[in-house]
Amino acid sequence: MQGGARIVRMQEADIDTVATLEGEVSPAPWSSGIFRDCLRAEYECWVVHAEKVFGYVIFSLGPGEAHLLNIAISPARQRRGFGRQLLAKVASIARVQGMQRILLEVRPSNLRARAIYERAGFEFLSLREKYYGPPNKEDALVYTLSL
């Protein structure tokens, strides 16, 4: 991968860095506790790192479908293909685990994320009204990728 970057499983020791990064990129950031809960619940939690962690993806594997819960790349490293590679990792694990599709929710206003999902072959499935909580109750677009 570019610049010696690698995608590896997230460890508890990564949580502070991941939560700081989350605070930089998300309008409603997850707390460290949420990331810790994801690890303890044995969700699929992966980070991309070179010398330091600069991105992450979290997803769950349910009956027949993977659910993408969070994905981010540090602003300084965006638009270099790392987000696409994290999505490819999700798809490859989901396929090996026998999933038929990946589902995710995205804010209609998040044009960057929608662009990367559409580029990766995701298609709009449905609208979930007022899915995102206060202060700005926003609908979610549900996207799906058949595997």
Contacts to ligand COA by CB under 6 A: 25-26, 71-73, 78-84, 106, 110, 112-113, 115-116, 119
In angstroms, give the least distance from the CB of 121 to ligand COA.
12
In angstroms, give the least distance from the CB of 53 to ligand COA.
13
The CA radius of gyration of the chain, in Å to the nearest whole number, is 15
Which residue lies nearer to ligand COA by CB, 15 or 55?
55
- Closest CB to ligand COA: residue number: 83
Which residue lies nearer to ligand COA by CB, 26 or 92?
26
**110 near 143, Cβ under 8 Å?**
no
The CA-atom distances, in angstroms, between 82 and each of 3, 42, 112, 136 are 11, 23, 14, 29
Task: Give the helix/strand (H/E) hosting 47.
Answer: strand 44-49
Which residue lies nearer to ligand COA by CB, 92 or 98?
92
**Cis ω for the linkage preceding 135 (within 30 of 0):** yes
In angstroms, give the least distance from the CB of 66 to ligand COA.
14
Closest CA to 10 of 50, 55, 76, 51: 55
Which residue lies nearer to ligand COA by CB, 15 or 106?
106
**Reduced to 3 states, what is the DSSP secondary structure of residue 54?**
strand
Which residue lies nearer to ligand COA by CB, 84 or 137?
84
In angstroms, give the least distance from the CB of 129 to ligand COA.
17
